Structure 1
């Protein structure tokens, strides 16, 4: 299926590793000109170079989106963007008792206000051109939080909420705003967390056993495994495509059934 992404330009924030990298790579494979964003120069340039080595079109942009100046610099370097994927975010796994008011403020700046900054920088151009896609990477913890990491879950909820508001604001403009909400995805950092839990709980001995146990007890879902970065990337590519013109304000969960509809 032709997604109609050739000759489009996409900025994927936080794409020097993990989910962001997978999204940037798949968009590039579909013919999109990709702006790879990160804060680590070596990693960010390496991802862009790898995309180009595979025949894709990519450039690297560095900047801290947690400041007005950093976000403006990234947007300026990215140029006219048709597709904005707000993936960059911060997670530390803290507990209620570990968190200060400053911790809550800091993660909100990184995970929420940074998203708003990029929307403010890039969406006016999309409006003017009459076409655009804003895709936020959210998560099931936005609607099904747990006791741990309350500040992180709250920022996901804010991302989900502001996306629906933005979709309504953009009514009739040709620009859509949607959410992709991953479950537990097997990135390098997630693998490390799972292996630590496996040592504590005695999961194993093989990785297949560990993953099955994690999917049954730690990240419960109906598929019985963790998701893969490419599965999130595929959802993003669909929502960015010409086939998703009639989808806006939607929450596309890619979580193996962790979160269930109740109505």
Structure 2
């Protein structure tokens, strides 16, 4: 299927590695010109170079979205090559903390990085999408925003906020030609997760090989119907669909790509 992304420009925040890199690479392969964002210029430039080497179009934008100045710099760099049609708010992070260790200061910092950073980019880029009558805003959420665990509560709550703001934005954009939706991944095998599993797997009796550890973790830690962790490109494919005209009738939706981790009909 042709996703009809040729001629579109996309900014993917937090795309110098991991899931964001996969999203940027997939959008470029589908014909979009992408802006790779990160805080480390070398890493962002390496991703952009790889995209260009594969025949795609890519620029970079560097800045810390947890600050107004950083968001201004990223927006200016992204717009310097032309209007942004697609905004993917992927950037974020979390610490593995318990309720006892997640202090109010950690909660505030996590909210700043995972929620307000995305709001900054929405406010800087969506008004022009609206004026031009076409645009796509996609939040990368997560199942923990719907079905939270006791660990890292500050992160779970920010995912719920991402889901909520996406629906509110969709209501705000009614009739504008701009849509707002969420892609909600389950556990995804990015490098950081692979390293974590290798570290904790043997001690939990999950085996020694990466394959054994993944299967055991998928059964015990993040049980799902497929019996494995997702891959970044599987999330990227969902984003690419929502980014194009085939998804024009999708508004305020949450597209779960989690192997059936969330046990809900909603």
TM-score by shorter chain over 0.5: yes
Query: For residues 63 and 248 of structure 1, what CA distance do their matches in structure 2 show?
Result: 30
**1:17: Cα distance to partner?**
0.2
Counterpart position of 1:255: 258
Counterpart position of 2:100: 97
For 1:158-237, list aligned pairs within 5 A: 158-237=161-240
Unaligned runs of 5+ in 2: none
Q: Answer yes or no: is the 8 Å Cα contact 2:129–2:135 preserved in 1.
A: yes
Cα deviation code 1:69-113 (max 9, x no counterpart): 110110111011000000000111111111211111111000000
Query: For residues 93 and 190 of structure 2, what CA distance do their matches in structure 1 show?
Result: 14
Cα deviation code 1:151-171 (max 9, x no counterpart): 000000000001000000000
Give TM-score, length-normalised by structure 1: 0.98
**1:206: Cα distance to partner?**
2.4
Give TM-score, length-normalised by structure 2: 0.97
Counterpart position of 1:18: 18
For 1:25-174, list aligned pairs within 5 A: 25-79=25-79, 80-174=83-177
Spell out structure 1 runs of 4+ moving beyond 6 A.
none
CA-atom RMSD in angstroms: 0.8
Number of corresponding residues:
263
Unaligned runs of 5+ in 1: none
Cα deviation code 1:136-187 (max 9, x no counterpart): 0000000100000000000000000010000000000000000000000000
Query: For residues 207 and 64 of structure 1, what CA distance do their matches in structure 2 show?
Result: 34
Query: For residues 227 and 31 of structure 1, what CA distance do their matches in structure 2 show?
Result: 24
